[in-house]
Structure formats: C-alpha cells, structure tokens
Amino acid sequence: MNNREIVQKLWNLCNVLRDDGITYHQYVTELTYLLFLKMMKETGQEFIIPEEYRWYVLAGKDGVELKTFYRLLLMELGKAENNLLKEVYVDATTFISEPKNLEKIIKSIDALDWYSAKQEGLGDLYEGLLEKNASELKSGAGQYFTPRVLIDVIIKLTNPQAGERCHDPAAGTFGFMIAADRYIRSKTDDYFDESVNPEFQKYHAFSGVELVKDTHRLATMNALLHDMQGQLLLGDTLTSVGESLKNYDVILTNPPFGTKKGGERVTRTDFTFSTSNKQLNFLQHIYRALKSNNKARAAVVLPDNVLFEGGVGTQIRRDLMDKCNLHTILRLPTGIFYAQGVKTNVMFFTRGKSDAGNTKEVWVYDMRTNMPSLGKRTPLTEAHFDDFVSAYTADDRNTIKDERWNAFTREDIAKRDDSLDIGLIADESLSIYDNLPDPIESAEEAMGKLEQAISLLNEVIAELKAAKLPVLTEQEKVYTLKNMQQLQKVAEAQEVYKG
C-alpha cells in the first residue's frame, strides 16, 4: 500500500465523524493529535511522551473510558515540559462526542500499513493528507493552500542554497520551507562544504510565522515529520512581532487574502505606508526583511489587486521597485487554488544594495489567457510551467520568442501610474462560455460554504443555549447580547455564505 492509498483511507475516516458534526478542518486537526502519538511510536521517538499517555495505552481502552482518557491525554500533553509536545497539543480539544467513533478511528489508524508508510516517508504521508484537505472544496482550506507543483517551480527558480536563511512570514502548513529544505538536500545529499554549519542548517536555516493556532499545529507536525527543527512562531507578522524578522536571504510565501478585521490599519512602527490591505502590508514587510546585498531574493504569491490598487498601493509598488529589482511577474491561471475566480500572480524580486533605482525593466509571463480551465478535475502540472521556466532561466531573455513573454521598462510602468497590471495577451476565446467554471466544482464549493455557515451558526445557537438567557423581547435581546464573539460568528457565517 502506497502513501496515496493510505491518505485516502485516512480521509475516508472523515465520514465516521460526519454524524458528530465535525468539519473537514476539525477532522484534520483531530487526526493530527492521534497520528502524532502513533508516528512517535513508529519512529522510535515515543520516549518524549509520558509513558501513561503513549499510543498503546490509548489504543487499549474503549467506550466511555476511552473518551474520558482521551480528553485527559490532550489536556496533560498540552501542559508537557517538552516544547514539541506542547506545540502540538497546547489548547487541544476534541470534537468527537461518540466514543464508538473515536474507537473506530484509533483501530483504523492502527491497522494501516505503517511499514510501507515509513518506507515512503511519514512526512510525505502527512503532507498528502494536508493536500487532500485542500483539494476537497467543502473543506474551505483550498484558498490558503499553495499547490505543490507551484511551490516546486518557485523553489527551483529562486534556488535556495545551504547556509542561507529562508523564511515564510505567512507559513500556513510550512509547505514552502519544507520544499526548500527538500530541494537543498537533493542538491547536497546532506553533505555541506566547510562554509556551512550543519547545526545552522538544521536549526536556523528555515523559519516561519503562522497566525492561526490550529494551522500552526499542523505546520509543527509537518516540520517534525520532515525532520526540520527551524523556528516556527505562532503570531502575526503584521504586528510588532514582525519588526524583528529581518536580514533573510530568501523569502517564499503566499500571504492570506483580504483585509485586516474591521478595516484596521497595521501599526508597525517600521512601515512607511499605512493600509488595511493585508497583501500590501506583507509585501512591505517582505522587501524590507531581505538583506540589502543584491543577492537576497523573494517570490511572493499575490492577488491581482496588489498590481493595480491606487493610493497607498501605488506608493508601495514604487518603493518596491526602488529598493528591489522586480525582474519577473508570472500571471497565474485561475482555478489553481481550489477556489473559483481567484486571480493570482507570483512576483520575483531581488533586494538591491541601495534604496533607489533598482528596477530597470519587468518581464511578465502570461500563463492565464487562452489557458485550459484548471481545477480539481484538470489539475495544474509541472508541464504547464515548462515554457515559463525556459524563459525565466534564459541567458538572454530577449532571445525568447513567446507571445506570453514581454518586457516593460521602468519608464513604461511609470507612464501607467506605476500599475503592474500588465502583460496579459489578447484573449482568443470564441465565447464567454469558454471560461466558465466547472459546474460540478462550483456546486461543491457553494455547498462547502453553506456547510461552513451552518456550522458557525450552530456554534452560536449552542453558546446561547448554554448561557441560559432569560426570555426577553427581540429588542431587549439586541441590547443584552454582550458577548461580541457570538455576533462575530454570525457575521463570519454571513461572509462565508455570501463568499
């Protein structure tokens, strides 16, 4: 049994939990708690877990006793002295209410072909599970998950080296850093020259920051299973946390889309430009966090609005092109983030030694126009990038004859009021219907959003029932609901449904 088959078996267990009202995201988190215990046993690292909470103890219980013990286990491991244990289990809670469901999942995990899984790599198994979660439209994770194929192409083109500090300020499940580590190992076979400290490479070469607690938990597990011990902070890069994150050689990231909650502006003391747009703030952070040495480089996945937004957006793009050589923009096809209609780009730039005049021209490759419709049923492949990679790596880019590949001088861009919404070729579609999304995928996505909305509303109902509010008129209820978190959940549910 290969890892793909094992991932499918693990994913099928999600159906066991549907009656417990557990969402896909909650399921992956729940699996992480259990898989960690099992994988520590399989890899001979069980010594870090107190003996009374090891896998065989959990697997030996059933019924109500199992459910009670499992809740105790989560609580105690969340308070463990071992930092690794604490990072995986801090504030952990279970959503499984039926003991028989918990028992079935534990027995199913025990019965998997763990010998084959270890041969292929437990890290690859877990990463496959995360990718499966993203590819399921109902999970809602796809808009944040960067396709592995795209990550691998970006890594190859940015070419991280042993001894360099690599960073992701919006780490997600740590996919960029894991791929960078894998790339470097493939080039060196773990044998570094004398200038590279092996201790640095293991503990300090890779780092990241993740805001969402559950996603940080998944990232920690992912890094652990890939034998990576880099610094993975739980926090918000766009707050004072990010002010000390500087002097990186390589930054690779796909920042979250949208604005700060409530339209708040970021109050970083080191930012010149103030805006509530998350992507523009991440862009500011990234080019400021690179070393000023004409070598430090970044590749950032950003939505279209970053390329053309006026006001502060124009100022930030101008500052970027002054401080960095923005040499390449890749206009990505739609549908690759498992979410319909999302239009994204990859910006490649290198930080200069000076703070002015570093961008002379920008090359743009259009992978969006006149492309086949991509999505779950027609996935993005490495072959889709072949022509772009050839153009990007050419000794003389001017010799590349490809209508999708065009250069724009800094003067050309200035005439456009520094808009970078450039490089798209003529659309030869014969009909407006040619680029319509897959109707099945659209329906699945709509159902997924509806399920998320219902789940959030159910949480509100449960909390209101638990509060045992007195019987009031509708007007009185409005003024007595002091817990704004409940109102926030309603708002989130509405946004998800309207999404």
Q: Tell me the pLDDT tens digit for each residue of 114-171.
A: 877 777 777 878 888 887 777 665 545 555 578 889 999 999 999 999 999 999 999 9
173 vs 441, higher pLDDT: 173
What distance in Å separates the CA atoms of residue 218 and residue 144, rounded to the nearest whole number?
13
- Tell me the residue type at 131: E
The SS3 of residue 365 is strand
Residue 127 is part of a domain; what is its CATH number?
Answer: 1.20.1260.30
DSSP 8-state assignment for residue 399: G
252 and 345 both lie in a single domain:
yes
Predicted confidence at residue 496, as pLDDT, reads 46
191: pLDDT strictly greater than 70: no
pLDDT at 430 over 50: no
Sheet of 361-366: strands edge to edge?
Answer: 231-234, 206-210, 166-168, 250-253, 297-303, 344-351, 324-331, 361-366, 405-409
Per residue in 432-489, pLDDT (tens digit) is: 444 555 555 555 555 555 555 565 565 556 555 555 555 555 555 555 444 555 555 5
Res 149: pLDDT: 92
The rounded distance, in Å, linking the Cα atoms of 305 and 310 is 9
Q: Is 129 found in the same domain as 89?
A: yes
Q: 424 lies in a domain?
A: no
- Domain endpoint, select from 108, 135, 162: 135
Q: Is the dihedral of CA 101, 106, 109, 110 positive or negative?
A: negative
Residue of 134, 152, 151 whose CA lies nearest to 143: 134
DSSP code of residue 326? E
State CA 176 to chain mean position distance: 9
Tell me the pLDDT of the chain averaged across its residues.
Answer: 83
- Give me 391's structure tokens: 């153009």
Question: Are both 190 and 273 inside the same structural domain?
Answer: yes
Selection from 331, 366, 328 nearest residue 350 by Cα: 328
Per the structure, the complete domain to which residue 453 belongs is given by 439-498
pLDDT tens digits for range 282-321: 999 999 999 999 999 999 999 999 999 999 999 999 999 9
334, 343 contact by CB (below 8 A):
yes
293 belongs to a structural domain: yes
Residue 345 has pLDDT above 90, yes or no: yes
- Please give the pLDDT value at position 222: 86
Considering the domain architecture, whether residues 171 and 318 belong to the same structural domain is answered as: yes
Q: Are residues 370 and 227 in the same domain?
A: yes
Say whether both 364 and 467 belong to one domain: no
Q: 250 and 373: one domain?
A: yes
Number of domains forming the structure of the chain: 3
Full DSSP string of 16-65: HHGGGT--HHHHHHHHHHHHHHHHHHHTT-GGGS-GGGSHHHHHT--HHH
